[in-house]
């Protein structure tokens, strides 16, 4: 069976681009969560459902993982089930030795680039702070309104903890506490 795994980082983002990129899948698994770790419901389900000779397809490596370590662990788990991985945008196929090699190299390069970008951003922020040009995010600048507000109230009322809410909405936990306080004061939760 061909199992196509697609992922976006937030609920607001669309899977369309990935879904249009491949139409030969027998089963599609889709997550709308960050790829920074392996704790993703549909990824877990796909890995658990794998059988010998299955093929896991992803549009790009970053849809599968943003960490070389996790990428290699996921790849190893796929291989241990007798399945293979195909990455569409890099034309990688782990059923071949060269495909396994390229997967490892490309994953390491991608992680290095992310770390370099992060370091450059931090350097830029430090210089801007020294020059008095950077003061951080304006307090209260992350607003909760419209569809996001309704979604927050729904998740909050279902008992999601602060950490999960922060991940879901892409904000710090302190923002979740502030939103909670404001909505409680208004009697909305």
Say which of 9, 34, 60, 148 is annotated catalytic.
9
Q: Are 96 and 43 in contact (CB under 8 A)?
A: no
Beta strand pairing call for 55-58 and 84-87: parallel
Within 13 Å of residue 52, how many CA atoms lie on the same side as its CB? 0
For 135, which DSSP code? Answer: -
Cα dihedral 124, 127, 133, 136 sign: positive
With beta carbons less than 8 A apart as the criterion, state whether 170 and 144 touch.
Answer: no
Paired tokens of 1: 């069976």
Q: Is 30 a catalytic residue?
A: no
Assess contact for 9 and 62: CB atoms under 8 A.
no
CA distance 164 to 155: 9
- Report angle CA 96, 102, 108 to the nearest 5 degrees: 145
Q: Which residues are catalytic?
A: 9
């Amino acid at each position: 069976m061909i199992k196509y795994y697609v992922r976006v980082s937030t609920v607001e983002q669309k899977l369309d681009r990935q879904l249009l990129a491949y139409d030969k899948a027998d089963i599609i698994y889709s997550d709308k969560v960050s790829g920074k770790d392996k704790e993703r419901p549909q990824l877990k389900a796909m890995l658990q459902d794998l059988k010998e000779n299955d093929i896991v397809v992803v549009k790009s490596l970053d849809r599968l993982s943003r960490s070389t370590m996790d990428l290699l662990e996921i790849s190893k788990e796929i291989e241990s089930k007798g399945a293979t991985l195909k990455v569409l945008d890099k034309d990688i196929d782990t059923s071949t030795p060269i495909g396994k090699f390229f997967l490892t190299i490309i994953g390491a390069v991608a992680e290095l680039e992310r770390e370099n970008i992060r370091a450059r951003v931090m350097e830029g922020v430090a210089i801007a702070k020294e020059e008095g040009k950077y003061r951080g995010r304006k307090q209260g600048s992350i607003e909760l309104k419209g569809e996001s507000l309704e979604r927050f109230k729904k998740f909050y009322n279902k008992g999601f903890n602060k950490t999960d809410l922060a991940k879901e909405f892409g904000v710090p936990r302190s923002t979740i506490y502030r939103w909670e306080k404001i909505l409680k004061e208004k009697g909305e939760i």
